[in-house]
Copies of this chain bind each other. A is one copy, B any other.
């Protein structure tokens, strides 16, 4: 910057102004500085700026893993909106581990992240402490919970699971099974199971523990899950899966075992991945507009940083998409 200044024959303050707010310069100055900047290929030193401004212009994103397209699209949308507003995105992975998540959070704080996008509402208590003591703005995503003390943007996981269950109840099903993702430190997974539970409870139907199997989010695991359920003394006629990947496996396994989908068993998931409409018989699922969550999260963070008051909790609407994988309950045999 000193070089630019001396080449243009101005002070470094003028160069700084040219970079940040060219309007305040006289046209003459502006032209001179511009030439110098261009000639020298000057690029502002971000760390120095961050130090001076006490703002790094970086947003941290901590997600469990990156192998799910829905989640990936959320991060992509965040990145895009941040970038368009002069913010960079620091990516960190928590692997569904609250301690690791806390560690990653510390790293991002050290890196100077001005804001943080988290996933879910369940975090290490020290994480909240840390963020609040440093006044770092953050938002929980994928979850919508107006009652939470922490800002959040996302879906009503319980509600959408209930909707899926109700859809199947309407089709006459009474024997339900669930292939959930691991619920350990994943409140989204928990809430989805709970949503099913409640929908059934309202009709006086039980959801016995053995009808809920927990499996990692992989196709092969979805197969195993379905197999387990169908080997039960009384197998379910409707299976709700923690996401489309598990549902994919469930459908394949059902077909492999000789069951007709949806004739013998209905199967549904969450996400509406690319192929959900393509795989016969078409997967009934809940479409989750994850990019919208990413965009809203970015907007929340940047606007809050800019001093604007933003809604504490905002719900992103989901859509139940009925396709061929769910149908009327089979007649009792």
Contacts and interface: CB of A to CB of B under 8 A. Distances in A.
A295 to B, nearest CB: 14
A108 B82 CA distance: 13
A252 B280 contact: yes
Contact of A43 (B43, B93, B109): B109
A240 B309 CA distance: 53
Contact of A66 (B73, B88, B107, B108): B73
A268 interface: no
13 contacts: A43-B109, A44-B110, A46-B112, A47-B47, A47-B56, A51-B51, A66-B76, A67-B73, A75-B91, A80-B93, A88-B90, A248-B278, A249-B275
Contacts of A61: 91
Copies of this polypeptide in the complex:
2
Given A45-B112, A47-B50, A51-B51, 19 more contacts: A41-B130, A41-B133, A43-B110, A44-B110, A46-B56, A50-B50, A66-B66, A66-B75, A69-B69, A76-B93, A79-B92, A83-B104, A88-B90, A88-B92, A90-B90, A90-B91, A219-B278, A220-B277, A252-B279
A278 B66 contact: no
Interface of A: 41, 43-48, 50-51, 56, 58, 61, 65-67, 69, 72-73, 75-76, 79-80, 83, 88-93, 104, 106-112, 130, 133-134, 218-220, 223, 245, 248-249, 252, 255-256, 274-275, 277-280
Contact of A249 (B47, B249, B278): B278
A252 B278 contact: yes
A81 B91 CA distance: 13
Given A43-B109, A47-B51, A275 B219 contact: yes
A65 to B, nearest CB: 7
For the complex of A and B, 3 pairs with smallest distance between CB atoms: A47-B50, A219-B275, A66-B72
Contacts of A75: 66, 91
Nearest to A65: B76
A140 B93 CA distance: 23
Contact of A278 (B76, B88, B110, B223): B223
Contacts of A111: 46, 58, 88
Nearest to A276: B219
